[in-house]
Amino acid sequence: MPSEERTARLSVLIDPQKKACFEALCKQDDVTPSQVVRQLIREFIESRLGPDWKNQVLGTPKQS
């Protein structure tokens, strides 16, 4: 199984009002909160490591 398909749990504590707002906004966009958090994490990693981060983090070859 490719590394990016494996999952690990990440627990985050936020106040209930922000959680409710976040879930409502996700629902409006027809995405799950998990999808949004995974995208934010990918964007954060890329901002720190650059566009070739997948090779460094996941050990996958660069695609052209």
Burial state string for 25-56 with b = 16 or more CB within 10 A and e = fewer than 16: ebeeeeeeeeeeeeeeeeeeeeeeeeeeebee
What's the pLDDT at 51? 87
pLDDT along the chain (64 residues), means of 10: 72 96 98 96 92 84 58
